[in-house]
Amino acid sequence: MQCSSFEPLAQDPLSEARVGRLRLPHGAVRTPAFMPVGTYGVVKGLAQDDLRALGADIVLSNTFHLVCRPGSEMIRELGGLHRFMGWDGPILTDSGGFQVFSLAAMREMDDDGVSFRNPHGGQLIRLSPESTVQHQIALGVDIAMVLDDCAALPADRDTLIAAMNRTLQWAQRSLAVPRNPERGPALFGIVQGGLELDLRQECLERLIELDFNGYAVGGLSVGEAADDMYSVVRFTAPRLPSNKPRYLMGVGYPEDIIEAVAAGIDMFDCVLPTRNARNGNLFTSAGRLVLKNSRWRRDQRPLDEDCDCFTCKNFSRAYLRHLFVIKDSLAPRLLSIHNLHYYQRLMERVRSSIEAGNFAELLAWARSREDGLSPSKRQVD
């Protein structure tokens, strides 16, 4: 038995959109799937029962941050990340490659790896392609991402070539780390190359030769225009193996997800739904709702009258605004439940439309809306 397998189940006849099932040691994932982000082994403010009730099949954590605290070895001694955080479903861990990009002022990078100062204590942390996989083995996760070099955009061609070549060298070294063929983790390679399609082509071809368990499209949502991101995804995703899962890293506005599904992407993650919730910005079927606005102080309606989440079934806008204004800890929990429910229901709608053969209608509807599906484009009346 292998540590992962992917089975395509339905294909949209007019696009690359597909429904599938990804089997992992801790369970199956229905795709297309959105992974709630639990960077430190917790989706902020939510218990694991909340995640199960919302319909999440898989969650994402971050290797770099867990290495910083409490440490991968401590988590291993405590029974692994699943037992540590009380989650019995699949877990994917990002490698820390994004921190190579986002914490540029705190790190030094060379061809052998990356050195960081622990932001929580100042001690030096060294990540190599090999140690990154070893940390994820110690965590006991289902899917491990290789360490990659993510270039900020815009970037000149020489910078993109150097980052791509380093990513490929690190990917090959990552595969050399011994892993249990049944327990895993499954290892995903990451396609880099910025906005240069010929570099994306070269990177994906060389990664496919290495035969990873799955493939990710990285280096997007880092400063480029939406149309440029769509162009790269539409080019890259269909060229990845059809029998392996395809993951678009860190991209999470609803309309971006639908466009990427149309290109053939199976997996998504983003902090957007929970971060927006903590700031009082809610996704609703009618558009954006900014909870701090005083107009809601007497409003007895739910956040979204077309939503059946726990929050909308039990609490009014007026009460939720009150909790938000007084900064009660219940507010971010209830608002996060709503936003994550919105995302999980969106993925259910995507899957069902593909299975029913009418995904094209969903895609056309998303593109035709004046406000889009982004909460930044329209406010609720």
- pLDDT value, residue 83: 98
The angle subtended at Cα 230 by Cα 12 and Cα 358, nearest 5°, is 20
For residue 377, what pLDDT is reported?
47
Structure tokens at 313: 């079934």
Nearest residue to 56 via CA among 87, 100, 95, 94? 87
In the numeric block, which tokens belong to residue 167? 């990513």
What pLDDT score does 379 carry? 54
Q: Is the pLDDT of residue 380 over 70?
A: no
pLDDT at 368: 83
Q: Which of 93-102, 137-146, 227-236, 364-373 shows the lowest per-residue confidence on average (mean pLDDT)?
A: 364-373
On the question of pLDDT at 376 being above 90, the answer is no
Mean pLDDT, residues 207-211: 98
| Mean pLDDT, residues 173-181 | 97
Given this model, what pLDDT does residue 116 score?
84
Q: Is 269 a catalytic residue?
A: yes
Residue 370 pLDDT: 53
Longest CA pairwise span in the chain (Å): 61
> CA–CA separation, 231 vs 376, rounded Å?
22
Tokens of 195: 């906005």
Active site residue 228: no
pLDDT-based confidence at residue 100 (cuts at 50, 70, 90): low
The per-residue pLDDT for 92 is 98
Q: Kindly indicate the confidence band of residue 118, based on its pLDDT and cuts at 50, 70 and 90.
A: confident
Q: Tokens representing 300?
A: 């007895």
Please count the other Cβ atoms lying within 10 Å of the Cβ belonging to residue 77. Answer: 11
- Pick the catalytic residue: 50, 256, 269, 304? 269
Please list the residues that pair with 157 across neighbouring strands.
none
- Which domains are seen in the chain, by residue range? 5-270 (3.20.20.105), 276-368 (no CATH)
Whether 229 shows a pLDDT value over 80: the answer reads yes
Where is average pLDDT lowest: 120-124, 220-224, 300-304, 334-338?
120-124
Lowest mean pLDDT among 73-77, 229-233, 264-268, 366-370: 366-370
Question: If you average pLDDT over residues 151-175, what whole number do you get?
Answer: 96
Residue 97 CB neighbour total at 10 angstroms: 27
What pLDDT score was predicted for residue 65? 92
Q: Which of 104-108, 220-224, 330-334 is the least confident region?
A: 104-108
Q: What is the pLDDT of residue 119?
A: 79
The Cα 329–Cα 344 span in angstroms is 23
- Closest by CA to 266, choosing from 333, 308, 335, 216, is 216
Which pLDDT belongs to residue 381? 46
The single residue of 50, 94, 148, 256 carrying the catalytic annotation is 94
Tokens of 375: 């909460």
Instruction: Kindly state the average pLDDT of the residues 328-345.
Output: 98
**What's the chain look like in SS3?**
CCCCEEEEEEECCCCCCEEEEEEECCEEEEECEEECECCCCCCCCCCHHHHHHHCCCCEEEEHHHHHHCCCHHHHHHCCCHHHHHCCCCCEEEECCHHHHHHCHHHEEEECCEEEEECCCCCCEEEECHHHHHHHHHHHCCCEEECCCCCCCCCCCHHHHHHHHHHHHHHHHHHHCCCCECCCECEEEEEECCCCCHHHHHHHHHHHHHHCCCEEEECCCCCCCCHHHHHHHHHHHHHHCCCCCCEEECCCCCHHHHHHHHHHCCCEEECCHHHHHHHCCEEEECCEEEECCCHHHCCCCCCCCCCCCCHHHHHCCHHHHHHHHHCCCCHHHHHHHHHHHHHHHHHHHHHHHHHHHCCHHHHHHHHHHCCCCCCCCCCECC
Whole-number Å distance between alpha carbons of 315 and 171: 48
pTM: 0.95
Note the pLDDT of residue 122.
80
Nearest to 215 by CA among 260, 185, 248: 248
Axis-axis angle for helices 359-368, 254-263 (nearest 10) = 140
**Chain-wide mean pLDDT for the chain?**
94
Q: Is 60 exceeded by the pLDDT of residue 290?
A: yes
pLDDT, average across residues 182-205: 97
Cα 367 from chain centroid? 22
Residue 10: phi, psi to the nearest 5? -150, 145
Q: What is the pLDDT averaged over residues 99-111?
A: 77
